Amino acid sequence: MKNNLKFAAVLALLCCAASVFAQNKNVQKNQAQQIKEVKAKIEKAVFEVVVPKPKEENIVYMYDLPFEFIDDSIRNDKYLPVGTAFLAEDGLFYSAVATFKLLEQTQYGPYYVRDHSGKLYKIDQVESFATNRGFIAFRAEGFDAKKVKTPLKAGASPGNNTIVFSAAYELGDGLVVRSGMVTAKLDEQTNAEWKWLRISAAAAPKTQGGPLVNLNGEVLGIIVPQPDVQALTFALPFSEVNEIAPHTGEVIHHFDYAMPSMNKKKFAHKFYHEVSLPKNLETIQKTLRTGFLRYRFEIAEHLVPHFGAKGNMGFLYSSGSSDILSSGTVPAFPLVVGLSAGNKWVFQQPQNIYEENTQDGGGIIFGGMMGTIFAVVKRPDSIPYDKFCLESSNYIDYILLANEISRTVAGEAVPIMSFGKALKVDNYKDAQGRTWYIDYWNLPFADSMAVSYALPLPEGIFVMLSVADTDTVTALSCKALEFEADCIYPRYVSSLKNWKDFLAFLKKEQTIYPPFDNLTLNLADGKFSMKSPVISADIDKSTFEITEKTTFALGVAFELKDNVLKQKVRSIELYTNRKSEDYKYVHFSENIKPEQDARQEALSLWKQKINKGTPYTATPYNQGEFTFYDEIIFESGTTDRRKAERIFLLSCEMKGANKAAEMKAFAEELKKNIKISK
């Protein structure tokens, strides 16, 4: 009896499962049939929005792009799909306004609609649009709306849980119809003027601007993108297109403006513009793009007097200024002055820094932060200094080799080896008077650009490289890089031979480059001499055998003089190869007393130095296989070290332990040959 009951229960479960399976299968079948029916009703009224494929001429790839794995219809198409539009009963085309980039800079255009048979019509007169609502209505040249027998009629507003269908042209698949449901009606966030239709993810298309329709093929809304929402799961109710005044285009664009080096401190803005319509699409694009670009430039220019290098809230006058102004070190990697999360100005650099060297003397040290690649590219011995700095491919190709930027084709990421010849070159004179070389390149396959700001250095060149969409580079990256260039704290270190080439280049190009305007270097008959406004040196080969291969480094510091921001020499370093048996190192620096609001570490170090605490005792000491020496030198006439405003540090190293007498004699000779200016 029990076995019979068990058998009956199992049989009942199997029957139930079979019934559910059959129901699901029927639902899928019904859904597929519904999609097929809806598509048949609307396909002649739905159009693809396309632009001519942009041409590429200069980009060099690691190997040929694998276009052979792309469908012929896509590979041979002369046009690039960018969205969807549909024809309504009133004879107008409707789409998402974002498709046409009315405000953004772009390499795409002119815009066309393409019907299901492949015929093209250039978009002409715009009859209505609203950027906050996200729609645009327009006509197309040579298109006779009367010949389309099935334009989309407006349907009644759908309720929650209503079955709806999205339609969109998708790359390689043609017109795709998906089914889903209205999951919610959400208030527009700014003033709650209308309610967005939110649809289920199953109905989310891959391109914007297509219609949301009901089972009868009647249009309920326009699929439009939403900020910070990945999928296209929102639609503007179609009735909202009638809420705009006749013959009017409205730009109501809320956005945040931020300088990356200011911890993404955001400033809220609203760009408003009203356009009388009808007007040609290209005329509208030109007017609005120019106006919006100018508006963003004005925002950036307004920030400079407040937060820029000489701004009243900039690093010279705000929290953190003492630490920055008292610094005079030689950084291992160039530093950017930026605003920290604690609203304090600090030195910043990439968290992860990488170095690669080549056998020809070249190499690269690089890292990324704030959406920018920062790199010191070392000049190879085989390239003359002026050629290296003035032809950007010499250093940009190094960056691309070390930091891969690629293009994906048929699912394969193909590295870019060179951007080729720059589309445009320019110069920027920063707040300190230094000249930066600017180069722009188009990356048309992604409607993107690359821009680099490059500053010559003794060892090669310092580069800030930004790669982003065309609008970001044109409107934001350039201003951000200018802002950062004003506050860059480079590293000036290389062989004396490279220093000679560097200074000769500045002279030849008549380039102003503080702090080198008043710097002289000379190496003749084994005698080294240098002169700067603060520190001068004359070192004979009997004291320190210096050659063209000897490394020379300058540590500089910011100062504001006669309302001009400059960098002055505050420290010098000379050293030979640390692995050699005759290795020697000399450091001499001016140390400025930190203000009371400086970091505690800086205040403690100052106290340690003026009190000549260890290791600043002028007594040689050993560390491993080396002998070291550190001495604090006060200015002549100093009677109370606690009142000193500046002191000087002499540090030395030499290969070999227990060389106290030799080190002491070496230091005494250096003190005779290094002079301090008042």
User: What average pLDDT does the segment 577-590 reach?
Assistant: 94
Both 154 and 291 in one domain: the answer is yes
Establish if 324 belongs to a structural domain: no
Check residue 221 and give its pLDDT.
Answer: 97
Establish if 1 belongs to a structural domain: no
User: What average pLDDT does the segment 447-451 reach?
Assistant: 96
Both 383 and 234 in one domain: the answer is no
In this prediction, residue 21 has a pLDDT band, given cuts at 50, 70 and 90, of very low
Check residue 28 and give its pLDDT.
Answer: 56
Answer yes or no: is pLDDT of 552 > 60: yes
Both 563 and 443 in one domain: the answer is no
User: What average pLDDT does the segment 208-225 reach?
Assistant: 96
Full residue range of the structural domain in which residue 471 is found: 350-505
Q: Which helix (H) or strand (E) segment is 481 a member of? A: helix 478-486
Establish if 6 belongs to a structural domain: no
Burial class of 251 by CB neighbour count within 10 A (0 to 12, 13 to 18, 19+): buried
Residue 410 and residue 588: Cα distance in Å, rounded?
Answer: 58
Establish if 333 belongs to a structural domain: no
User: What average pLDDT does the segment 532-559 reach?
Assistant: 92
Q: What pTM was computed for the model?
A: 0.90
Q: Could you report the per-residue pLDDT of 107-130, keeping only the tens digit for each?
A: 999 999 999 999 999 999 999 999
The three-class DSSP label of residue 656 is coil
Residue 300 and residue 259: Cα distance in Å, rounded?
Answer: 8
User: What average pLDDT does the segment 422-436 reach?
Assistant: 92
Query: How many domains are contained in the chain?
Result: 3
Both 392 and 539 in one domain: the answer is no
At 81, phi and psi to the nearest 5?
A: -70, 135
Pairing, β 248-258 against β 120-130? parallel
Among 505, 538, 564, give the residue marking a domain's end. Answer: 505
Both 199 and 223 in one domain: the answer is yes
Identify the CATH number of the domain in which residue 155 sits: 2.40.10.120
Establish if 637 belongs to a structural domain: yes
Residue 238 and residue 218: Cα distance in Å, rounded?
Answer: 10
Extract the tokens encoding 235: 């639609």
Extract the tokens encoding 107: 């390499």
Q: Could you report the per-residue pLDDT of 607-658, keeping only the tens digit for each?
A: 999 999 999 999 999 999 999 999 999 998 888 998 999 999 999 999 999 9
Establish if 12 belongs to a structural domain: no
Residue 42 and residue 44: Cα distance in Å, rounded?
Answer: 6
> Which of the residue ranges 99-108, 185-194, 224-233 would you say has the lowest mean pLDDT?
224-233
Both 498 and 518 in one domain: the answer is no
Q: Could you report the per-residue pLDDT of 273-318, keeping only the tens digit for each?
A: 999 999 999 999 999 999 999 999 999 999 988 888 888 888 888 8
Both 460 and 530 in one domain: the answer is no
Answer yes or no: is pLDDT of 19 > 70: no
Among 505, 523, 541, give the residue marking a domain's end. Answer: 505
Both 86 and 179 in one domain: the answer is yes
Answer yes or no: is pLDDT of 2 > 60: no
Both 435 and 551 in one domain: the answer is no
User: What average pLDDT does the segment 510-514 reach?
Assistant: 81
Both 162 and 56 in one domain: the answer is yes
DSSP for residue 62: S
Establish if 589 belongs to a structural domain: yes
Ramachandran quadrant class, 657 (left: phi over 0; alpha: psi -120 to 50; beta: rest): beta
Residue 412 and residue 308: Cα distance in Å, rounded?
Answer: 43
Establish if 551 belongs to a structural domain: yes
Q: Could you report the per-residue pLDDT of 372-400, keeping only the tens digit for each?
A: 999 999 999 999 999 999 999 999 999 99
Residue 498 and residue 489: Cα distance in Å, rounded?
Answer: 20
Q: Which helix (H) or strand (E) segment is 220 a member of? A: strand 219-223
End-to-end Cα distance, the chain: 112
Among 505, 532, 560, give the residue marking a domain's end. Answer: 505
The three-class DSSP label of residue 286 is helix
Q: Could you report the per-residue pLDDT of 657-674, keeping only the tens digit for each?
A: 999 999 999 999 999 999
Q: Smallest Cα–Cα separation from 455: which of 415, 406, 491, 483?
A: 491
Report the mean per-residue pLDDT for the chain: 90
The three-class DSSP label of residue 305 is helix
Both 564 and 608 in one domain: the answer is yes
Residue 417 and residue 400: Cα distance in Å, rounded?
Answer: 6
DSSP for residue 459: T
Answer yes or no: is pLDDT of 269 > 80: yes
Q: Could you report the per-residue pLDDT of 318-371, keeping only the tens digit for each?
A: 887 888 887 888 899 999 998 888 888 889 999 999 999 888 889 999 999 999
Residue 129 and residue 123: Cα distance in Å, rounded?
Answer: 14
Both 501 and 388 in one domain: the answer is yes
